Amino acid sequence: MEKFALTIDSGTKGVRGIIFDEKGHERAISSYYYTDYYVKSFGFYEASGEMFWKGLQIVTNELKRKNPEIFQHLIGVTVAAQRDTATIVDQSGNPIRDFISWMDRRSLDQPIKMAFFWRFLFFVSGNKKYTEMFNKGTHANWIKVNEPELWEKSKAYVLLSTYLITKLTGRMVDSKSDIAGHLPYNYKKKCWCTTNEIKKQIMPIESDKLCLLVDSCTVMGPITKAASKVTGLPIGLPVVGSGTDKGCETLGVGCMNACTASVSLGTQATVETTTKKYLELVPFYPSFAAVDPQAYNPEVTLYSGFWMIEWFIDFFEKAEAEEYRKQGKNILDFLNVQLEKIPVGSEGLVLQPYWGQETFKEEALGSIVGFTKDHTKYHVYRAVIEGIGYALKEGLERIEKKTKCKVNEIALSGGGSHSDQICQIMADIFGLKTYRVQTYETTGLGGALAIFTALGVYDNLQNAYKQMVHQSKQFEPDQDNYKIYNNIYSQVYKKAYKRYKPLYKKIRKLRK
């Protein structure tokens, strides 16, 4: 009898429920797009817990209705959620306020005051800037300062994954590999920080407001009667710990070591590898806990990522996109054709894709240089794609330098990987063999690997990977294109930020 695993992928744009069989074949999928994010003021980005919970119910019930035979043979379910989206909850796990999204850029005017010893230590070590940045940018700290009465009556500060797992199991528990964000978490030891650890001073969330943690690839609890009633999931179905959406995605594309890089071309673009050794790319910016309980994922994030395609469409192709939608077509198919018409390097147009606040470049703003009268909006479009590629390549070089391991292949995932043209551009920029796997739902596939491992179908993740992850299409770099890109990258792109940095600082001051 066939066995099936269900991953609930609660990403930024929406939630998907994806069912896989033991061989990694995608057997059923249901999607629901979030529409209720809202902005209170500039930089704020929130949504209700009900939006996320109702979305989960919609996809699970649709899966059950459309695939009854497969659904009744589910052996387990896991939740893979967007990172650093959090709120405070009461004793029952119900939100006291709405979730603050990872996209939210609110910040305290002044950091929460730390003991003199720690402030002095950060100063003499040269890390004062980083510690204050994380302190002011921690959303839990913002709630403590601006909504103290809500903080006082809350039971816990939880991530979105913890909230959904609590709703499913009745237990306020989460996987150690789900913890990623502004939290006092010891990523090396994979546990909450103790009182005397540095991160506890920067993000002073009380220990009794942090949830119970268990290893990934283990059962966290069964589906309760109450959860079964609204989701359609069988009572007692095991809920398995896996990892974040990015963590599961990295596993799902077959990035099992430091020689393969997982490049996610999603709303938030990332490049990461998998290592057995813990390392920090910069102070206080950790390698995340991988789905493999014995591994880590060093990562560089580009916060704007392929959201920039939406930005481009909104500003340059809105009417065309609406017309294509009415015809039942996708504007991205049209834009893919335009990519092929623009020469490699966008005829001298070079873009730095820092439309969002960047972890390693806090002053950064977006820029496009090299305009002439001959450039069109489609040159800008290709420059967007190439700029994202350059930024990810720069991130990969940082990881390679730290891990002392040269990457020899790139695994692509995320919305941008649906385009063969974009995949080829990435192969040409990196100068490496680039591939996709058999499904675009790589987060779902990574979650399924965790389920089948936890429930004994495979005795470890390595064996699950060998049976379930299959390369489907490869893109070999064009060496002539690679030379062009490498010249632009080394002679223009890498030098630009250092020269623009003083101007970025001045612009930010003027904006304030």
Q: How does pLDDT run across 155-166, given as a tens digit for each residue?
A: 999 999 999 999
My answer on whether 293 and 178 are in the same domain is no
CA distance 431 to 437: 19
34/132 same-domain check: yes
User: Considering the domain boundaries, does residue 227 fall inside one?
Assistant: yes
Concatenate the DSSP letters of all residues of 174-208 into one string.
EEGGG--SSS-EETTTTEEPPTTSHHHHHS---GG
Query: Do 169 and 280 belong to one domain?
Result: no
**In this structure, are 186 and 304 located in the same domain?**
no
Q: Is the pLDDT of residue 438 over 70?
A: yes
Tokens at residue 468, please? 């379930």
Overall number of domains in the chain? 2
Instruction: Examine the domain organization and report whether 195 and 271 are in the same domain.
Output: no
Q: Which of 4-18, 354-368, 395-409 has the lowest mean pLDDT?
A: 354-368
Chain-centre distance for alpha carbon 398: 19
- Do 380 and 349 meet the contact criterion of CB atoms below 8 Å apart? yes
Q: What count of Cα atoms within 13 Å lies in the side-chain half-sphere of residue 85?
A: 26
Residues 44 and 109 in one domain: yes
What are the b/e assignments for 389-405, b being 16+ CB within 10 Å? bbbbbbbbebbbebbee
Q: What are phi and psi of 257, to 5 degrees?
A: -155, -175
pLDDT-derived band at 475 (thresholds 50, 70, 90) equals: very high
Strand partners, 265: 269
pTM recorded for the entire structure: 0.93
Q: Between the CA of residue 70 and those of 73, 281, 309, 344, 427, what are the distances in Å?
A: 5, 43, 36, 46, 37
For residues 229 and 329, membership in a common domain is answered with: no
Q: What is the pLDDT of residue 131?
A: 81
CATH code, 429: 3.30.420.40
The answer to whether position 19 is within a domain reads yes
Residue 11 sits in the same domain as residue 127: yes
Which of 241, 273, 289 is a domain's end point?
241
- The C-alpha R_g of the chain, in whole angstroms, comes to 22
Domain assignment present for residue 502? The answer is: yes
pLDDT score at 120? 64
Q: Could you say which DSSP state residue 113 is in?
A: P
Q: To 10 degrees, the CA torsion angle through 336, 337, 341, 344?
A: 20
Higher-confidence position of 339 and 130:
339
Q: What percent of the chain has pLDDT over 70?
A: 98
pLDDT tens, residue by residue, 161-186: 999 999 999 999 999 999 999 999 99
Evaluate if residue 360 carries a pLDDT over 80.
Answer: no
Phi, psi (5° rounding) for residue 371? -65, 140
Closest listed residue to residue 212, CA positions, set 184, 192, 189, 234? 192
- Tell whether the model's pLDDT for residue 490 goes beyond 90: yes
Which 3 state secondary structure label does DSSP give 239?
strand
Average pLDDT, whole number, for the chain? 94
Please choose, from the candidates 315, 448, 371, the residue with its C-alpha nearest in 3D space to the C-alpha of residue 7. Answer: 448
Q: Are residues 164 and 288 in the same domain?
A: no
Greatest alpha-carbon span in the chain: 66
pLDDT at 126: 67
Show which of 184, 219, 241 is a domain's final residue: 241
pLDDT in tens, 189-210: 999 999 888 889 889 999 999 9
What average pLDDT does this structure show over 208-235?
97
In-domain check, residue 452: yes
Share of the chain above pLDDT 90, in %: 82
| Higher pLDDT pick, 473 / 303 | 473
DSSP letter at 103? T
Residue 248 lies in a domain: no
**Residue 296 in domain:** yes
pLDDT of residue 511: 79
CB atoms within 10 A of CB 206: 14
Same-domain status, 187 and 272? no
- Whether residues 137 and 260 share a domain: the answer is no
Instruction: Domain of residue 264: give its range.
Output: 254-512
Domain boundary among 241, 274, 291: 241
Instruction: Clarify whether residues 377 and 276 are in a common domain.
Output: yes
Q: Is residue 52 part of a domain?
A: yes
| Tens digits of residue pLDDT in 11-60 | 999 999 999 999 999 999 999 999 999 998 888 999 999 999 999 999 99
Q: Give the pLDDT confidence score for residue 125 in this predicted structure.
A: 63
Residue 183's pLDDT is what?
96
Amino acid at 362: E
CB atoms within 10 A of CB 66: 12
117: confidence class by pLDDT, cuts 50, 70, 90: confident
Mean pLDDT of 102-122: 82
Q: Quick one: pLDDT band at residue 123, thresholds 50, 70, 90?
A: low
Question: Which residue carries 């990694």 as its tokens?
Answer: 24
At 157, phi and psi to the nearest 5? Answer: -105, 120
How far is the C-alpha of 443 from the C-alpha of 81, rounded, in Å?
9
Q: Is residue 247 part of a domain?
A: no
Pair type for strands 238-240 and 74-81: parallel
